[in-house]
Amino acid sequence: MLDGYNVDIDFKFNDNVPRRVNGFYIKSANDHPQADPKSVTVSWDLEISKPTKSISFPLDFEGKRWHSIYNDLPDIDVAELTFTLVGPDSPYLGSHWVQLGQIELFGPTAAAIQTGKDEITEGKISTEDWWVFTAATATDAEECVKASRTTTTSGYYVDSSVLDVPKSECCLQGNALDQAQLKLACV
């Protein structure tokens, strides 16, 4: 267990060579669920002396022991990552203890990356687009979003984007794709 409300766990590959990382499991410890972290923020540097990027994830181990939660990360090439754990709101054993079982990183192998790069060079890529329309609520305006993901034939990630688009584009796509959810934009 680590004593402190926020705990940083710095991870660095032994050879300091960047690896592609696109997800991680975080596992609760084998006892004392009162000391489970309630969230984690993953941070990394884009390049030396460039801004740091970070993504936060809530954690709810539901009181289960050795329980794993998987979280996606954008495809990043890094040699170092920092996991900042936020401890529970209530003190445990008179202090803000944070307890964790394991963090496991995921990403493609070097061979998969090379295959993906070769496919990009050969133009073996495809882009999937989808639209999401959210009707207005009492507190939020209506919204239409277009998301795109480009991958190679083998599934190697190339790029993705999410853009706000005009309502008319959601309406057009709803009619073209015969999607009831998008047709709501036309009403």
3-state DSSP assignment of residue 18: coil
pLDDT for residue 170 is more than 70: yes
For residue 122, the Cα-to-chain-centroid distance in whole angstroms is 29
Instruction: Please give the backbone phi and psi of residue 66, each rounded to the nearest 5 degrees, phi first.
Output: 55, 35
Chain segment 151-164, per-residue pLDDT in tens: 899 888 788 888 88
pLDDT at 70: 94
pLDDT band of residue 50 (cuts 50, 70, 90) is low
Give, for 172, the enclosing helix (H) or strand (E): helix 167-177
Percent of the chain with pLDDT over 90: 33
Cα–Cα distance between 63 and 60 in angstroms, integer? 8
For residue 99, the Cα-to-chain-centroid distance in whole angstroms is 22
pLDDT for residue 3 is more than 60: no
Q: Where are the CATH 2.60.120.260 domain residues in the chain?
A: 2-107
Chain segment 100-110, per-residue pLDDT in tens: 899 999 998 88
Token output for 20:
């592609």
3-state DSSP assignment of residue 92: strand
Of residues 28, 31, 6, the one with CA closest to residue 93? 31
pTM for the model stands at: 0.66
Cα–Cα distance between 37 and 112 in angstroms, integer? 34
Q: What is the dihedral of CA 109, 112, 116, 117, to 10 degrees?
A: 60
128 phi-psi bin (left φ>0, alpha ψ -120 to 50, beta other): beta
**Which class is 2-107 in CATH?**
mainly beta
Chain segment 57-91, per-residue pLDDT in tens: 999 999 999 999 999 888 888 889 999 999 887 76
